[in-house]
Amino acid sequence: MKNPIILILLTLCFFNCNNDKKENVETISKSTKPEKQLREIPKAKNTIEIDGIANETSWNDAEWYPIDQVWLGDALTQNDFSGRFKITWDNEALYVLAEIKDDTLIDKIKDPLVKWWDDDCLEIFVDEDNSGGEHQYNHNAFAYHIALNGNVVDMSTKKVGKMYNSHVESKITTTNNTSVWEVKMYLYEDTYNDNSNSNKPVKLSANKKVGFAIAYCDNDYSEERENFIGSIPVEGVDKNRGWIDANIFGTLKLIE
C-alpha cells in the first residue's frame, strides 16, 4: 500500500476495534448476576416476635416457597425430608419462617467452629445488594449456618469459621418430626469489616432487591451430613456453590 495516510487510518481503526472488544469483555465480567427466581416480598404488617411460633398476621399472609432442590446426597422422598419457607421484612431486617420435617435432629459437634455444616442446621444465603459474584472468603455475601442451639457461623476473611450471632436471631420449636425456625436477620454491606465494632446493618426499604437462597443440612448419625437441600436449582455437577458464588442466589424484591 503506497498511500501512508490510508495505512495510518487503517492502523488506528485496528487498535480502536481491539479496544472496543476489551471494553465489552470488561463490561460483561463486571455485570451483575442473572436475575432469577424473582419473588416480591410484602412488608410485615405487624411486629414479628422471634419465638418459633408463627402466630403473627404477617406470617398468615406470606406465601410458602419450597426447599426441594438436592444439592448434595441422594434423591429424597417426602418420608425422608420436606421443607418450605416464608419471608417478610421491615425497615430493620429480613424475617424468615422455615418449616422442616426431619425425624432426626443432630447436634453432635460440640465446638461450633468445627465442621459446623455436618450437624443439622438451617443455612441462609444473603447478598445485601444483589450484586452476585464470589464471596468465599469475603463479605460480598454471607452464608449463615444457623445451628440448633442458635449459634451462627460463616467463613471469615481469615478463611476460618467465625461466629456472627449478632447478625441473626432465631428460635426453633419442634413437635414430633416438624421443626419451625423463626429467624430475624440483619443485612450488611459488602464493606463489612470483621475487625471493626462500627459495622451497622442496612436499613431496608421498598423496591430494594436482595440476593437470597435457603438450604438445610441434614444428618442422621453419620460422620458427615448426608443431604444438603436448597431452595433454588443450581446448574452443573457441583451444586454446593452457595458458600462461594452469590450468582446462584435468587432475588427478593421488597414491596410495601
List CB contacts of 242: < 8 A, sequence separation 6 or more: 71, 123, 125, 143, 213, 215, 230, 234, 248, 249
pLDDT in tens, the chain (256 residues): 445 454 444 444 444 444 443 333 333 233 467 889 999 999 999 999 999 999 999 999 999 999 999 999 988 877 778 999 999 999 999 999 999 998 788 888 889 999 999 888 999 999 999 999 999 999 999 999 999 999 999 999 999 999 999 999 999 999 999 999 999 999 999 999 999 999 999 999 999 999 999 999 998 877 789 899 999 999 999 999 999 999 999 999 999 9
**Alpha-carbon span 124 to 232, nearest angstrom:** 12
CA Rg, the chain, in Å? 22
Backbone angles phi, psi at 21, to 5 degrees: -65, -40
Taking phi first (over 0 means left), then psi (-120 to 50 degrees means alpha), and beta for anything else, what does residue 198 get? alpha
Domain check: are 25 and 39 in the same one? Answer: no
Q: What is the pLDDT of residue 30?
A: 38
Domain check: are 19 and 126 in the same one? Answer: no
Q: 178 forms bridges with which residues in the sheet?
A: 101, 175
Identify the three-state secondary structure at position 245: strand
Domain check: are 160 and 219 in the same one? Answer: yes
Q: What is the pLDDT of residue 12?
A: 44
Q: 122 forms bridges with which residues in the sheet?
A: 146, 216
Domain check: are 87 and 136 in the same one? Answer: yes
Domain check: are 196 and 237 in the same one? Answer: yes
**Alpha-carbon span 192 to 81, nearest angstrom:** 35
- Pair type for strands 250-255 and 38-42: parallel
Domain check: are 181 and 124 in the same one? Answer: yes
Domain check: are 23 and 112 in the same one? Answer: no
Could you tell me the CATH number of the domain that includes residue 181? 2.60.40.1190
Domain check: are 6 and 115 in the same one? Answer: no
Cα torsion 109, 115, 118, 123: sign: positive
**224 within 8 A of 73, measured Cβ to Cβ:** no
Give which of 190, 100, 96 is closest to 140, Cα–Cα.
190
Q: What is the pLDDT of residue 153?
A: 97
- Pair type for strands 209-218 and 227-230: antiparallel
Count of the separate structural domains present in the chain:
2
Domain check: are 74 and 104 in the same one? Answer: yes
**Alpha-carbon span 53 to 230, nearest angstrom:** 23
Angle at 160 between CA 156 and CA 161, to 5 degrees: 75
Count of beta carbons in the 10 Å neighbourhood of residue 74: 8
Q: Which domain holds residue 19?
A: 1-29
Q: What is the pLDDT of residue 79?
A: 74
Domain check: are 139 and 77 in the same one? Answer: yes
Cross-sheet strand order for the sheet of 65-67: 65-67, 82-89, 94-101, 178-185, 168-175
Q: What is the pLDDT of residue 6?
A: 44
Predicted TM-score of the model (pTM)? 0.85
Q: What is the pLDDT of residue 3?
A: 52
Domain check: are 68 and 180 in the same one? Answer: yes
Domain check: are 24 and 123 in the same one? Answer: no
C-alpha cell at 208: 430494594
Amino acid at 183: V
**207 within 8 A of 255, measured Cβ to Cβ:** yes
